[in-house]
Structure 1
Amino acid sequence: MTKKEIRKKYTEKRETLSQDEVLLLSERIFNNIFQFFTFSENQKVHCFLPISIKKEFDTQRFIDELLKRNIRVFVPKIVDEKLISVEINAKTNFIKNHWGIPEPQSNQDSGEKDFDFVITPLLYCDNQGNRVGYGKGFYDSLFEKINSNARKIGVNFFNPDEIVDDVWEGDIPLDYLVTPTAVLSFGDGKSKSTK
């Protein structure tokens, strides 16, 4: 399927989920992340903040847990049509942007590029790590700028069923996909279920 077809299909699938289902599936993803990955004090994690009206994985509990463990957390903010990374803490003030995404009030770009993990939003990811987002390219440009050994982790409520047909050479695949039922690794270009 093309990215356009996948975008339509998985946007519609997500829209059918109730808020209770989103919370339940988010809880399962949260548990899978902490069962599979080891997070250590002072590591640096870049994590998206969800668009709740689009029923994305609820990252708030995940971020709270990282902060509690003294892990440095960075979130994206769009400034002048570019994605910057803002470091946050428990006292950070947030405001919603025109897409309904909570963002820190600060426009202070951390300039950080040396992340241990990048928790990545998506609509879909196939079984080779090819990600389909909303088509703005913000995460492709982020992936180009950060250290190459940062683990790029996608989170999705749905397991891979379709192949993304129109992957182009500028697309950077994910390293892992976490769903409510599995953690998939794409280290050699093929998925391996770890659950």
Structure 2
Amino acid sequence: MKKSELRKKYLGKRKSLTVNEIFQLSNEIFKNFIDYFKHSSGEKIHIFIPIEKFKEINTHIFIDYFLSRNIRVFVPKIVDTKLISVEIFADTKYEINDWQISEPTSNKDSGVLDFHYVVTPLLYADRNGNRVGYGKGFYDGFFETISKETKKIGVNYFNPDENIDDVWENDIPLDYLVTPTEVLSFSGASE
């Protein structure tokens, strides 16, 4: 299936989820993530803040967990059409931007490129780690700048049941996908 068709299909599937389903599925994804990836103090994790109107996975539970274990947390922010990484803390101040997305008030790019993990938003990923996002290309550009050792992890409500037919040469695949029912590794290695 083409990315445009998959984007439309999975936006529709996500739109039909109830608040209770989002809560339950997000918790199942979080549990699978924590069980699979063993975290330690001092790690650096880049993770998105969910866009509630798009019914994204509730990553606040991840962020709270990481911060409570002295894991450094970085979130994306778009500044001048570029995705930067802002480090956040328990007392970080947030604002709602023009797109109604909560983001840190700071525009200071951390400069960190050697993350242990980048937890990536997406609409769909197939069994080869190819992903469909919102079509803006922010994460492909971001992936080109970070350490090659960084694990790129997608989180999704839906299992990868169909292939993406129009993968582009510059698309950067995920290393892992975490769903409510499984964790898939695309590199052939486990954590």
| TM class, shorter-length | over 0.9
Task: Deviation per CA, 1:41-62: give whole Å up to 9, x if none.
Answer: 1110000001111111000011
TM-score by length of 1: 0.95
Tell me, what secondary structure is at the counterpart of 1:86?
Answer: strand
Letter in 1 for 2:109: D
Q: What's the counterpart of residue 68 of structure 2?
A: 68
Whether contact under 8 Å (1:51, 1:99) holds in the other structure is no
Distance between the aligned counterparts of 1:171 and 1:149, measured in 2?
A: 17
Letter in 2 for 1:49: I
Task: Deviation per CA, 1:68-93: give whole Å up to 9, x if none.
Answer: 00000000000011100000000001
Unmatched runs of 5 consecutive residues or more in structure 1? none
Distance between the aligned counterparts of 1:99 and 1:6, measured in 2?
A: 23
| TM superposition shift of 1:182 | 0.4
Letter in 2 for 1:86: V
Q: What's the counterpart of residue 140 of structure 2?
A: 140
Task: Deviation per CA, 1:103-127: give whole Å up to 9, x if none.
Answer: 1000000011000000000000000
| TM superposition shift of 1:22 | 0.4
Unmatched runs of 5 consecutive residues or more in structure 2? none
Distance between the aligned counterparts of 2:99 and 2:7, measured in 1?
A: 17
Counterpart check, 1:183 vs 2:183: yes
Distance between the aligned counterparts of 2:96 and 2:146, measured in 1?
A: 26
Distance between the aligned counterparts of 2:70 and 2:45, measured in 1?
A: 11
| Runs of 4+ deviating beyond 3 Å | none
Letter in 2 for 1:24: Q
| TM superposition shift of 1:102 | 1.2
Letter in 2 for 1:117: Y
Distance between the aligned counterparts of 1:177 and 1:52, measured in 2?
A: 21
| TM superposition shift of 1:98 | 2.3
Q: What's the counterpart of residue 50 of structure 2?
A: 50
RMSD: 1.1
Show the 5 A alignment for 1:91-106.
91-106=91-106
Whether contact under 8 Å (1:128, 1:173) holds in the other structure is yes
Letter in 1 for 2:92: T
Give the paired residue count.
190
Q: What's the counterpart of residue 14 of structure 1?
A: 14
Q: What's the counterpart of residue 170 of structure 2?
A: 170
Distance between the aligned counterparts of 2:41 and 2:124, measured in 1?
A: 31
Tell me, what secondary structure is at the counterpart of 2:134?
Answer: coil
